[in-house]
Structure 1
């Protein structure tokens, strides 16, 4: 007669063996799929898809809007800067695309839900949500005013909760949709002068992974999530003067193309450049002193030029503490994506 403890042990062995066999099959399938040319892959068709992009008033958000419109998507742009988002819409329409813009304060959950309702009433459900808006204070932690730290988190991660809560229910109901998080390599490594920024991007990476697991745990396999983690990008207003050694900063157009490629392939996590995946594998394998020495050598100064704390406080008062999440509107208080 088999005892209960023996049965539990046998069941555990069966579970482990089953897990290993299934894992091997999934890994082999993934390798084969990655080696296939794009012509053999089942790419997501973007034509007619409602794509909402936060921080669409400039930088990566504006360029993504242009690229997606060329694929036939209906682009909906949100930004706190009304003039900037209007200019983005104008540029997309000038190339023959379909675009709509709304002013939205992403740090205000009530405003997010209000604009979300207007968006849904006018254009229907959002098929692809791209949480792109981001801000940067770019100072040593002890030189960063509390309100700028809060602003970094409000825009870079807290806003993701509001936008996802606004649009995820319809995706779940249809078991179809895509949530894209524009995070950063700073969501995997720490950099001096970017303590608040790195922390918010670490949170964004965790948000994406936890949300994906939660959806799969509920059997919702049709709603996809993707975390995009690029290195420093040129021409976004955030890291134009970054002092980067050994590794070149990224061209905005290359990042935009890679983001769209990831959406079409429904990739879960994307490092840009891809070689950074090797670095992420090596990071836990070497002593911390080596990691720190490398990071300090790679990025001697992430934000060489910035205003003083006094200047930012004066500007904050002038702007009535509005959230700055458009590259055309950050002025000198905060840099933004």
Structure 2
């Protein structure tokens, strides 16, 4: 009579108990995490604890202009040892001049981020000539702004090499030393276009979506292996007024200025934030693409936000600069 009755074994019962215990603990901690987040959101940066970057070696890719140049100047003012990489020698010279004019030192290297061997070679030079990199800011990016059928194969490959594959090479080059010293910070610069597909950006958006996945996976690896003193920050800004998106005419929000983006990025790094979306209001709109019907999302994008229309006058030229 009892032959068909399923009896839970002690191991199964223990498993159920463990799940219940961990769930209750998660719910209790969730309350704490939410309250902590609300508290720090309301506390002004001026009175909250911010980590010092003084003496830290900070490497910025795409440092030859735009946000990269602003980062270099602002980081130098904070006492960091700034290292900038860029494919443009002229751009690097202007960035170095801007930093040196303020009385600070800076190291620069001409690096083609699309060339893996060049990235590894430059990384070794930095280690020997400057020292261990404490903060890595993968800021460089490129965009061609063409529809899929107008994009050349080489343009697609270049976009992937610069916008995402270079992140693998730089992190693999500098992360081991961070782990050895127990100190480090990796900043991945994505884009709002990496959270919401954008017209004439099948290559750019796809690579920026990839940066989101790269950051989230890297973050889980660091935490799973106990490297809690090595931080990871994902930065997703809206269109930035650097010339990268010349001709674009956003309807609801103006382009962000490089100075603001750089300042916000540095604040986010000093607060050890995991995610930084600019402007902050965008993070409240993004869930709508999963919650609303697809046709409704398209109508919102096309009729209200006029996203595709804003990119139709794109006149920018592909540059390896801040995205």
With normalisation by structure 1, the TM-score equals 0.88
SS, match of residue 242 in structure 1: coil
1:245 aligned to which of 228, 245, 251: 251
Change (3 A) 1:37 1:237: closer
What is the deviation of 1:83?
2.1
What is the deviation of 1:237?
2.0
What is the deviation of 1:242?
0.5
Post-superposition CA distance 1:252-302 (Å, at most 9, x none): 211111111111111110110000111023331111112222223422132
What is the deviation of 1:238?
1.1
Considering only aligned residues, what root-mean-square deviation do their CA atoms show, in Å? 1.9
Retained in 2: the 8 A contact 1:239–1:303? Answer: no
Distance in structure 1 (CA, Å) of the matches to 2:267 and 2:63:
19
Is 1:218 matched with 2:213?
Answer: no
What is the deviation of 1:195?
0.8
SS, match of residue 301 in structure 1: helix
Match of 1:105 in 2: 112
Match of 2:310 in 1: 301
Residue ranges of structure 2 left out of the alignment (5+ in a row): 1-6
Match of 1:191 in 2: 198
Retained in 1: the 8 A contact 2:60–2:138? Answer: yes
Distance in structure 2 (CA, Å) of the matches to 1:292 and 1:168:
41
SS, match of residue 286 in structure 2: helix
What is the deviation of 1:39?
4.1
Retained in 1: the 8 A contact 2:235–2:276? Answer: yes
SS, match of residue 228 in structure 1: strand
Is 1:325 matched with 2:284?
Answer: no
Q: Which moved more, 1:12-21 or 1:43-52?
A: 12-21
Change (3 A) 1:83 1:137: same
Match of 2:41 in 1: 34
Distance in structure 1 (CA, Å) of the matches to 2:300 and 2:56:
42
Distance in structure 1 (CA, Å) of the matches to 2:19 and 2:77:
52
What is the deviation of 1:165?
0.5
What is the deviation of 1:109?
1.2
Retained in 1: the 8 A contact 2:186–2:231? Answer: yes
Is 1:281 matched with 2:293?
Answer: no
Is 1:264 matched with 2:290?
Answer: no
Retained in 1: the 8 A contact 2:190–2:208? Answer: yes
SS, match of residue 130 in structure 1: strand
> Which structure 2 residues correspond to residues 47-86 of structure 1 after superposition, within 5 A?
47-86=54-93
Distance in structure 1 (CA, Å) of the matches to 2:68 and 2:302:
29
What is the deviation of 1:29?
2.1
Q: Which moved more, 1:30-39 or 1:241-250?
A: 30-39
Post-superposition CA distance 1:292-324 (Å, at most 9, x none): 2222342213251449xxxx9xxxxxxxxxx95
Is 1:45 matched with 2:52?
Answer: yes
Distance in structure 1 (CA, Å) of the matches to 2:270 and 2:312:
33
Is 1:125 matched with 2:132?
Answer: yes
Post-superposition CA distance 1:72-92 (Å, at most 9, x none): 111101011122212211111
Q: Which moved more, 1:151-160 or 1:67-76?
A: 67-76
Match of 2:19 in 1: 12
Residue ranges of structure 1 left out of the alignment (5+ in a row): 313-322, 327-335
With normalisation by structure 2, the TM-score equals 0.92
Retained in 1: the 8 A contact 2:51–2:270? Answer: yes
SS, match of residue 136 in structure 1: coil
Retained in 2: the 8 A contact 1:191–1:296? Answer: no
Distance in structure 2 (CA, Å) of the matches to 1:182 and 1:67:
17
Q: Which moved more, 1:125-134 or 1:10-19?
A: 10-19
What is the deviation of 1:60?
0.9
What is the deviation of 1:205?
1.0
Distance in structure 2 (CA, Å) of the matches to 1:208 and 1:305:
29
When the two structures are aligned, how many residues end up with a matched partner? 313
Distance in structure 2 (CA, Å) of the matches to 1:161 and 1:73:
24
Match of 2:170 in 1: 163
